[in-house]
Amino acid sequence: MSLTAKRASRYIIALVIIFTLNFVIPRAMPGDPLTNLLGEDVILTDSSVIELRSEMGLDRPLFEQYLDYWHGILHLDLGYSFHRHSPVAEIIFARMKWTLLLAVPSLLTGGILGTILGALAGWRSANSCQKASTAFFLAIYCTPPYFLCLLALYLFSFKLDIFPLKGFYDTGSAADIALHLFLPVLVMTLFSLSRNYMIMRGSVLQEKSSLYAAFARAKGLYDAEILFRHVFKNALLPIITLLAMDFGFILSGALFVEIVFSMNGMGNLIYDALLSRDYPVLQGSFLIITLMVVSANLLADILYSRLDPRVRWH
C-alpha cells in the first residue's frame, strides 16, 4: 500500500469514529433520545411520542439504528428538523451556498495577499514601511472579528450609508448581492490576511537565518531570488496548515460575521440551532464540517510532502 493510501485510510478511520460518536452522543445523553433529537421545546403527547419513535426507528435494536444511520449518511439523509419542518440536508445545502460565497473569496484573497506581504515583511524586517505595515496588521490580528464587523458596520453602513446594514440581498441581482457582500468580505479578508501575514513573516524571519539562505547569498543571488526560490517554499509550510484549518472550518468560521451582518448562512444556522436545541441540524452541520476538516487536512498533508521532501509520511 502506498503512503498516500495509508494516510487516506487513517482519515477514513477517523471519519468513521467521528460519525459514530455523532450517533452515540445524543443517545448517551440523559433522558429520552427522542427528546434529545427533537429539542427541549417540543411538547408531544404520549401517543405522538410512540408514533415518532416508530417512524424514526428508535424502537428498534441499537445496531439496526446504527446501520440505518449510515444508510442515511451515504444517501445524504441527515435527518429531519422538527423546528424548521424540513429535511436537514435541504436546510444545510440551502444555507451553505451563501456562506461559501462569503467565505471562499475572503480566505483565498487573504491567504494569497497575507502570504506574499508577510514574506516581504519578514525578508525586509528592518524597513520602516514594513514595520508600519506589521503594526497595522498586528492590530487587526489582535482585534476580535465581531468587533471589526461592528466597527465596519457602524462606520460604512450606519454613519456613511455606503453599504446595506444586513442580509445577502434585497432584489437578488448580481450587483445587489455584490453590494451586500462587499463589507463582510472585506472584514473577513482583512482578518484572514492579518493572520497569514503574521505567521508568514515569523516563518520567513526564521528561515532567512538558515545556512541554505546564507549559501544562496554567497553564490551572488539577488534577494528576490533567495526569497521566492529558496526561502518562500520552506516558510510556506505553517501557512498550509492554517489555510487547511480555515477551509476546514469555513462553514462555521463565518459565524460572528453572519450574526453581526444578519446573514442567513451556515453560521447563523448553527447559532439558531444551538439556541433552539435543534439537535438534528447541529448533528448534520457537525457531520459536514467534520468531512471538510478531514478533507482539508488530507490535502494539506499531500501538499506538505510535495513542497518539502524532508516531510515524510509515516
pLDDT tens digits in sequence order for the chain, 314 residues long: 566 677 778 888 888 888 888 888 777 766 666 666 666 666 667 777 777 777 767 777 878 888 888 888 888 788 888 777 788 888 888 888 888 888 888 888 988 898 888 888 888 877 788 888 888 888 888 888 888 888 888 888 888 888 887 777 777 788 888 888 888 888 888 888 888 898 888 888 887 777 666 666 677 666 677 777 767 777 777 888 778 777 766 766 677 788 888 888 888 888 888 777 777 888 888 888 888 888 887 777 777 777 666 655 44
Q: Does residue 301 fall inside a structural domain?
A: no
The reply to whether 64 and 196 lie within a common domain is: no
The reply to whether 124 and 227 lie within a common domain is: yes
Are 244 and 297 in contact, with CB atoms under 8 Å apart?
yes
What local confidence, expressed as pLDDT, does residue 2 receive?
63
Q: Does residue 199 fall inside a structural domain?
A: yes
Residue 277's region, left for phi above 0, alpha for psi from -120 to 50, else beta, is: left
Q: Does residue 172 fall inside a structural domain?
A: yes
Helix, strand, coil share (%) of the chain residues, nearest 5? 75, 0, 25
Q: Which residue has the cell 471589526?
A: 148
Are 239 and 199 in contact, with CB atoms under 8 Å apart?
yes
The reply to whether 117 and 65 lie within a common domain is: no
The reply to whether 66 and 102 lie within a common domain is: no
The reply to whether 21 and 163 lie within a common domain is: no
Cα→Cα distances 58→51, 61, 212, Å: 10, 8, 63
Q: Does residue 159 fall inside a structural domain?
A: yes
The reply to whether 32 and 171 lie within a common domain is: no
Q: Does residue 289 fall inside a structural domain?
A: no
The reply to whether 123 and 205 lie within a common domain is: yes
What local confidence, expressed as pLDDT, does residue 290 receive?
83
What local confidence, expressed as pLDDT, does residue 200 receive?
86
The reply to whether 104 and 44 lie within a common domain is: no
The reply to whether 66 and 107 lie within a common domain is: no
CATH number of the domain enclosing 136: 1.10.3720.10
Cα→Cα distances 227→50, 118, 129, 132, 239, Å: 68, 12, 18, 21, 16
Beta strands per DSSP E along the chain: 80-81, 86-87
The reply to whether 45 and 104 lie within a common domain is: no
pTM of the model: 0.75
The reply to whether 101 and 227 lie within a common domain is: yes
Residue 22 structural domain: 3-75
Are 194 and 138 in contact, with CB atoms under 8 Å apart?
yes
User: For residue 134, what is the DSSP state?
Assistant: H
Q: Does residue 298 fall inside a structural domain?
A: no
Exposure b/e, 55-84, CB count within 10 A at least 16 = b: ebebeeeeeebeeebeeebeeeebbbbbbb
Q: Does residue 293 fall inside a structural domain?
A: no
The reply to whether 39 and 173 lie within a common domain is: no
Looking at the structure of the chain, the number of domains it has is: 2
Q: Does residue 52 fall inside a structural domain?
A: yes
C-alpha cell at 284: 448534520
CA neighbor of 235 nearest in space, from 125, 108, 115: 115
Residue 254, SS3?
Answer: coil
